[in-house]
Amino acid sequence: MNASEFVAYVGPPDIHDSTITSVTRQGDSVRVELRTLDARPLSLTFQGVASIMSQHPEGMFLYALTELASPSPPLRRFVFANSDEESASALEVLAENFTSDTAADAPPKA
């Protein structure tokens, strides 16, 4: 990643060390389901999705969700940073925005 492309780390802190469990697209939205390090569910919903680049994202262990400079503002470029630099898994979403549902009250799954 070129330093001039980096905008910010975005989303809740629990994204770090979480794992992608599923990615679904419906119309112009994409929902990414994660399991946090302490086994809590976390959902990210991207709205106004223009494109998605996905290569086997399920099971990807995340370092972070980053926002990089967008090639077509006002769309924003969101890249899931894989903790395993040698893995081919990848997920990138070009969208207007996203929301998160942390399910903070949900107990950890056994």
Nearest to 23 by CA among 50, 70, 67, 60: 60
What tokens were used for 75? Answer: 């769309």
Q: Map out the domains of the chain as residue ranges.
A: 6-101
> Contact 29/52 with Cβ under 8 angstroms?
no
Q: What is the pLDDT of residue 1?
A: 54
What are the Cα distances from residue 87, in Å, to 2, 29, 78, 96, 108?
19, 26, 19, 28, 27
As averages over each run of 10 residues, the pLDDT of the chain (110 residues) reads: 82 96 97 96 98 98 97 96 96 97 56
Q: Name 82's Cβ contacts closer than 8 Å, sequence gap at least 6.
A: 60, 61, 62, 63, 89, 90
Q: What is the pLDDT of residue 102?
A: 73
Query: What are 26-35's pLDDT values in tens digits?
Result: 999 999 999 9
Q: What is the pLDDT of residue 105?
A: 45
What tokens were used for 73? Answer: 């503002």
The whole-model pTM stands at 0.88
Q: What is the pLDDT of residue 74?
A: 94
